[in-house]
Amino acid sequence: MTRDLSHPLGPSTQVYPGDPDVTLSPHATHETDGYRVTRLALGTHSGTHVDAPSHTEPDGRTIESFPVETFAFDARLVDCTDCGPRDPIERSALPETDADLLVLRTGWADRWGTDAYRDHPYLAREAAAWCADRGHHVAVDTLSVDPTPTGSESGGDDRPPTGEEPAGVPAHHELLGAERLILENLTNLAGLPQRFRLRAYPLPVSDGDGAPVRAVAETDG
């Protein structure tokens, strides 16, 4: 069986503070041109997407440099739904596994499109380093594996953060610096088995620091 784990792309797509919005506009229409073409503008980290190492690492690999089979993962679902707003996901929450991808389900996908979506749990630096050391890629149902900024200086509003908000993107550096990929903004994770196959093929963006994906879970029943 298959299950779509992707958010749709469109004008209502929630983006990371400061990133470009997703826009759709008519380029050709049936009435004027006899066919339809839509102009799509978006950032490389729009919607459900994968981060390449060059996203945060100056000498990191770009998305099209990875063989396409890299994006067919043996996944292990990790229940992190007991985490609250801006809580860290610690190393102790992560299982020993031979899977190549850890999928951290926080339940924050239910808040997609709201301000509360930015107050998601995040992966502690030590936990990210543990993943990188053991060869695990990481996927989350949140905007980022690191805390998302809340202040107006970062493109958000002026409400104070709830919980701790460390500076920088340490989890990104630990993972991408070790050439472990990061998948962000997954959805529809509830009810998946503990082990499943996840296919998340990115658009082959030239010199890409990331790209949107159509993430699909494959299960045995």
pLDDT tens, residue by residue, 54-109: 999 999 999 999 999 999 999 999 999 999 999 999 999 999 999 999 999 999 99
Q: How far apart are CA 119 and CA 133, in angstroms?
A: 27
Distances (CA, A) of 36 to 29, 32, 175: 4, 9, 41
- Under the banding of pLDDT at 50, 70 and 90, the label for residue 165 is low
Q: Is the pLDDT of residue 5 over 80?
A: yes
In this prediction the pTM is: 0.93
Q: How far apart are CA 200 and CA 198, in angstroms?
A: 6
What is the pairing mode between strands 182-184 and 37-41? unpaired
49 forms bridges with which residues in the sheet?
184, 212
Q: Which domains does the chain have, with CATH numbers?
A: 2-218 (3.50.30.50)
Quick: pLDDT tens for 20-66: 999 999 999 999 999 999 999 999 999 999 999 999 999 999 999 99
What is the pairing mode between strands 2-4 and 23-28? unpaired
Quick: pLDDT tens for 195-209: 999 999 999 999 999
Q: No. of H helices and E strands in the chain?
A: 3, 12
Tokens of 177: 């610096």
| Percent of the chain predicted with pLDDT > 90 | 91
Mean pLDDT of the chain: 93
What is the pairing mode between strands 122-123 and 88-89? parallel
